[in-house]
Amino acid sequence: MTNRREFLTKSVLGAGAMSLMPPNLFANSAEGKPPTRFIFLHKGNGLLPGSLALPSFDDQQQQSEKKKEAFSVDLDGQDLPEWMSPISGHMQNMTILQGLSGKMCTTGHHTWCSSLGVFKANERLSSIKWATVDFELAKLFPSPFGHIELACFPTGGGNSRGNINGIEKGFSARGPQQPNYAFGSPKTAMKELYKSVSNDESAQTLYQLERKMLEFVANNEGERANGLVGSERVKVSNYADALQDIRKRNGRVEAMSDQIRAHLPKLDAKYLADDLSTVDRQAGLTEILLSTLISGMTNVVAFTLDELGTPYTGLAGIEGEKVNQHDVGHGKAVGRFEATEVRKKIRNQHMTLIDTIVTRLKNEPEGDGTMFDNTMLFYFPDNGETHHSHGTEWPFVVLAGDNTPLDIARRYIRLPGYGKQGHKTLGNWYTTLLNAHGNPINHYGSPDVGLSIDQTGPIETFLA
């Protein structure tokens, strides 16, 4: 059983590092209507709520912000914080959302699957309670690959255990006790995601051998299950079904090979190196992200921009420094820059990636408009409000196209502070997303046992 499990997780999931979608893959697609796409970008070391406050707030708004009182401001005519300047051209599609809490998640330095799953989690598979929200959304808008995850892994410890260029457990989950797998480098993602359309003869030979191996093993496991009973029969049947699903997925990918070839990532050699700066790694993975969305390989991508143990290299102005985010979280300067300035540089780097994504999708025609019209992008912290987070605040920056069904565009929204009447949690936010896109779930995620207010349901004022 160990060999079969290793085969599935390393060889087969390595070929896709994604969920195994159900047989009725396209049953929920509305004929002729483009799917909604979701991009989840999360960062380590917290996202300071004060860093998102608008410098153009008037006195009353500044006081409400300090007291964490609920208010809403139209972004028209407002100034963004300087670090957000790369996305200033997208303000008509932007929402700055403050005041959500996530104390039901694992907080502090790391959250693993918590910030997307709204439950306590650690590195143990047994802690994964259910599919994370990105996978739930992927079910609503099926695609050949279902879901793709990318990550700038930490070098020591964490999910990658130092294998930052490989395929390792990611920060999303396919279901209970089922971690997702993420690509850690542009080179690995290119090799695994695009080998079915590769012009390289050896890569094509390897792919054809894998196809034959899948066929043989799937049939062999199916026959083996017939001779077993009880739990062993269930286990082996699950392996066989998983392998057959992957074969079907590969068939769907092969059927769209021309479309995939037309949108292959265009990466310079430096992005395909094993030793590349964090900034170049992010840029290369961003190209992979865009290619998979534009080609139709997937409708949902999760991208860990960095984790607390990710050593930053290549940051503007301090290119020669290796930035230790843990030290920055404790206020340590880097070169001539104070920790707060280093934080700004990291966030600014993230905004350049978001501008690249949004601008590219706005230039891709789709239907009567562009691909971005049907896209939602979320930028948020992995672990809440700060380095040693408590989960009382979980800021979000959202960029959404005109066809997305939430009524939140062009606004700075601060919800009631933690414990106050009307306060909302990550669970309420994700319930809103699921309800708005076709899943009428009453509530997604675990409750916060420390809150005495009603925590169920969506944020009704956000629903169009």
Q: Which residue segment(s) compose the domain that 411 sits in?
A: 2-194+264-462
Answer whether residue 247 is part of any domain.
Answer: no
| pLDDT tens readout for residues 195-254 | 777 666 666 555 555 555 555 555 665 566 566 666 666 555 655 565 566 656 666 677
**Are 439 and 140 within 8 A, CB to CB?**
yes
As a whole number of angstroms, the distance between CA 122 and CA 113 comes to 8
Measured between alpha carbons, how far is 120 from 128 in angstroms, rounded to an integer? Answer: 8
User: Looking at the domain assignment, is residue 232 inside a domain?
Assistant: no
How many domains, in total, are found in the chain? 1
CA atoms within 13 A on the CB side of 390: 5
The pLDDT value given to residue 32: 75
Per the CB < 8 A criterion, the answer to whether 64 and 181 are in contact is no
Euclidean distance between CA atoms 199 and 56, whole angstroms: 53
In contact, 163 and 182? CB cutoff 8 Å? no
| Residue 213 within any structural domain of the chain | no
**Residue 32, both tokens:** 């002729």
Distance CA 112, CA 130 (A): 13
Alpha carbon of residue 4 to chain centroid = 28
Gap between the Cα atoms of 424 and 437, Å rounded = 19
> Is 413 inside a domain boundary?
yes
For residue 117, tell me if it sits in a domain: yes
CATH value at residue 316: 3.40.720
Instruction: Quote the pLDDT of residue 251.
Output: 64
Burial class of residue 323 in the structure, from the number of CB atoms within 10 Å of its CB (0-12 exposed, 13-18 middle, 19+ buried): buried
Q: Which residue has the tokens 């395909």?
A: 272
- Asked if residue 224 is part of any domain, the answer here is no
Residues of the chain with pLDDT under 70: 1-31, 156-160, 198-252
pLDDT of residue 233: 64
- Which of helix, strand or coil describes residue 198? coil
User: Quick one: tokens of 163?
Assistant: 């294998």
Tokens of 308: 């607390």
Q: Does residue 230 sit within a domain?
A: no
**Predicted pLDDT of residue 15:** 42
Residue 237 lies in a domain: no
